Amino acid sequence: MPIQQILTGGKVPVKIYTDDVDPKALVQLSNMAQLPFVHGHVAAMPDVHVGIGATVGAVIPTKGAIIPAAVGVDIGCGMNAVRLSLKAGQLPDNLRPLRHVVEAAVPVGFDMHSEGHGALASTVRAMSGGLDRIVKRHPGILKMQKNVERNWMRQLGTLGGGNHFIELCLDENQDVWVMLHSGSRGIGNIIGRYFIELARKDMGKHLANLPDRDLAYLREGAEHFDDYVDAVHWAQDYAMTNRREMMRLILEALARQLPPFTATKEAINCHHNYVAVEHHFGEELFVTRKGAIRAGAGDLGIIPGSMGAKSYIVRGKGEPQSFCSCSHGAGRRMSRGQAKKKFDPQDLIAQTAGVECRKDAGVLDEIPGAYKDIDAVMANQSDLVEVVHTLKQVMCVKG
């Protein structure tokens, strides 16, 4: 479907691909549209919902500045999926032992790998130089959390918590897929928080002129701008590497339990919380996707539903008005606190019927009922992407 509503009144308009928007999200979108360096318009995807400062599901094109809080603290968070040469009938009837095997291979929640295990040593070495360069200029990063210099290595190839997950899915042809969602873990969170605060400090008294202090920005050419660009790109690379290492560990674990298989070439690894330099409407711009994926013409992407809903492998149509973007998922309909008040574990059991997963109070905030209807979200972005595969999970690992 085309753009459903347009907000005016800011420096630029806001073009929204749904009419299902929380009023608080509309305020956040309007706030972003007031910033002097936002270029052209702001685009809001069908999964749009309230974030911190910047709305989740927003695509923010800027010229000469970046908003660190719009990129967020889970820098480079995104998806990875790969199709296996297995069919549904080759999976065991009881998937619980398989879930435990995956949970043993990939630490979840606050857990991490033991020293010397997890990510390949060559991978750790490849990432080390970039971080050393960043902390040499900003040693305060290492003071924000205990054992930062060791933990980032131990967290490579780990899931984390919240809405991060690992799933075994079946597509419309009964082919088996492995799909996962994670980002830059603790080190990305630290880098994000460090530069968000630095942007506030750099703005000084001008911070009071912003509609929201979480929209503090770094100007191109200012003292810390290049350092942030360097740090955010490193964190995005870390997130991509983290997903790649997790997928390697998962496939190794599955290979010990399932019939022999190969991973097909149809593999996708894409960010949905990140900033990149792109060319749109004749200009080189910084494009921040806060809960949105790139959907350029021919780009393959992943749009997951909730724990009990369908997910989609999509191909981008390169729609200019969305800055070649689409949604990053279903999008939350209610906050985590609201979900815990509204639902109980029996609701979770009912809404995840047929899925091998945790069904306890610890993951109640991720219940499918807390999310928007993924089918409605997909219908609202038919101008942005075409569906290549429809996936339904049969096993889900949560942190």
Distance (Å, rounded) from C-alpha 16 to C-alpha 14?
A: 6
Interaxial angle between packed helices 225-255 and 185-203, expressed in degrees from 0 to 180 and rounded to the nearest 10: 170
Residue 342: how many other CB atoms lie within 10 Å: 13
Residue with tokens 């939350």: 332
Dihedrals phi, psi of 2, to nearest 5 degrees: -75, -175
Q: What is the dihedral of CA 43, 45, 46, 48, to 10 degrees?
A: -100
Backbone angles phi, psi at 140, to 5 degrees: -60, -20
Annotated catalytic residue 164:
no
Q: Which two tokens stand for residue 168?
A: 């075994």
How far apart, in whole angstroms, are the C-alpha atoms of residue 144 and residue 118?
Answer: 24
Kindly report the backbone phi and psi dihedral angles of residue 62, in degrees, each rounded to the nearest multiple of 5, phi listed first: -130, 155
- How close are the terminal C-alpha atoms of the chain, in Å? 35
Choose, from 164, 224, 272, 328, the residue flagged as catalytic: 328
Q: Are 108 and 157 in contact (CB under 8 A)?
A: no
Q: Which residues are catalytic?
A: 328
